[in-house]
Amino acid sequence: MNDDPRSHGLWERSAPPAPATHPLEGDVSADVAVVGAGYTGCSAALHLAEGGAKVAVLEAVGVGFGGSGRNVGLVNAGMWVMPDDLPAALGQTYGTRLLDLLGNAPGVVFDLVERHGIACEAERRGTLHCAVGRKGLAELQERARQWQARGAPVRLLDADETAVKVGSAAYSGALLDERAGTIQPLAYARGLATAVLRAGAALFTGSPVIAAEDDGAVWRLRTPGGSVRAASVIVATDAYASGVWPSIRREQVHLPYFNMATAPLGDDLSRSILPERQGAWDTREVLSSFRFDREGRLVFGSVGALRGTGAPIHRDWGRRALAKLFPQLKGVEFETEWYGKIGMTEDNLPRFHRLGRNVVSFSGYNGRGIAPGTVFGRCLAQLLLGTLAEGDLPLPLTDPAMAPRRALREVFYEMGAQVAHLAGARI
């Protein structure tokens, strides 16, 4: 499975083992059932258990399966949209509250890593958002202005400073965000799950929810091997939602994203690229990202799925783009590859949803799942514990919407990435 591009690639190979779990057998009861053992589900379960609730987590496959185990590993602050766009879209109260929460979210991640001793290659050295041309630089200038007006520790670098920090002269500037950093994403998910078990919660893997029944007092979530009866439910599946709550899937357009990793490059080569070990990505619409893991492997990614006719196109682009960005790596091959999907909403903003009586969920991390997923899980836990009022959430609880032309747009995303990579309209 490690060589299958649908798996978790390098992250599966280098992560510590997942905690020992097993499928649900028989019937159990809990105060809260959490569906999904990614960042949001594990964070929610951890904070619920620490708050005194009896918790049962149901995971269809394994801890960190899906986006939590396949992403780049950038622990970023904020969302893709400009900071000032959040109050404009959500209103001043929710927009400002969400900005404050997300601005501090990387700190929550790194605090959890330290508090629970999670071995996930955590490095808080900032991230670099790299500008392509004058248009990209203008975008980052405005983004820097908006964040700095809110007191955020971000700094706009000129082309020369960027070349030193990236190890390439390809970019016209970069935004350095000192709040951010990198982790081994699957290792972080597994570490959270270990903390969940230590806090006294139950966690069942290989236990997909196949039916959800409400008798007016409690919910009964059925799996192939048993059931969980719980007063409240958190659905934490995002882009990997299944058929029991189809409204989440209908709300999202899935964007494919792949990563490829080299073998360890050795000291001389690795010191010439990202010498301070920030994670980075660029301002192109069909963006690319790059970072190192702790063993000196360069992880290089972009939009696209490594399947069908797209796979050779994206692989060939990766080799060409890597050599163009870093000429010293000409001839270096990728050792592992993998891909996944990102749940995108219509306005690129996340949602909190009420899916039924005492059932809450979220939708649409839009490519920013590590830090937001961690703090959103905590918020949903606090809501059910009664320590956070619904009116104090960072987002209103709404009903899921329908994404227009969803299937067509998903085809367009992949075809657009293939065209961009074929044309070489990249780095």
- Segments making up each domain of the chain, as ranges: 9-126+179-423
* Whole-number pLDDT of residue 281: 98
pLDDT at 423 over 90: no
Pairing state between β 173-177 and 154-157: antiparallel
Using CA atoms, how far residue 424 sits from 130, 166, 310, in Å, is: 18, 21, 14
CA distance 34 to 14: 27
**Residue range 81-88: average pLDDT?**
95
**9-126+179-423 falls under which CATH superfamily?**
FAD/NAD(P)-binding domain (3.50.50.60)
Give the amino acid at 301: G
Of the pLDDT bands very low, low, confident and very high (cuts 50, 70, 90), residue 407 is: confident
* Whole-number pLDDT of residue 89: 94
pLDDT at 164 over 60: yes
Asked if residues 80 and 366 have their Cβ atoms less than 8 Å apart, the reply is: yes
Tell me the pLDDT of the chain averaged across its residues: 95
Hey, which residues does 214 pair with through a beta bridge? 219
* Whole-number pLDDT of residue 427: 44
Q: What percentage of the chain has pLDDT greater than the value 70?
A: 98
Q: pLDDT of 301-358, one tens digit each?
A: 999 999 999 999 999 999 999 999 999 999 999 999 999 999 999 899 999 999 999 9
pTM of the model as a whole: 0.96
* Whole-number pLDDT of residue 243: 78
Residue 17 has, within 13 A of its CA and on its CB side, a CA count of 3
CA distance 395 to 98: 7
CA distance 126 to 131: 16
* Whole-number pLDDT of residue 424: 74
**Residue range 13-28: average pLDDT?**
97
Helix (H, G, I), strand (E, B) or coil at 238: helix
DSSP letter string over 318-344? HHHHHHHH-GGGTTPPEEEEEEEEEEE
CA distance 344 to 349: 8
**How far from chain centre, in Å, is Cα 19?**
21
* Whole-number pLDDT of residue 303: 96
* Whole-number pLDDT of residue 241: 85
DSSP letter string over 41-87? HHHHHHHHHHTT--EEEE-SSSTTTTHHHHS--EE-SS-SS-TTHHH
* Whole-number pLDDT of residue 242: 79
Q: pLDDT of 191-242, one tens digit each?
A: 999 999 999 999 999 999 999 999 999 999 999 999 999 999 999 998 888 7
pLDDT at 2 over 70: no
Point out the least confidently predicted range of 279-283, 294-298, 364-368. Answer: 364-368
Characterise 170 by phi-psi region: left (phi > 0), alpha (psi -120 to 50), beta (else): alpha
* Whole-number pLDDT of residue 74: 98
- What burial letters (b/e) apply to 340-353, b meaning 16+ CB within 10 Å? bbbbbbeeebbbbb
Q: pLDDT of 91-148, one tens digit each?
A: 999 999 999 999 999 999 999 999 999 999 999 999 999 999 999 999 999 999 999 9
Give me the residue label for tokens 């920013």: 368
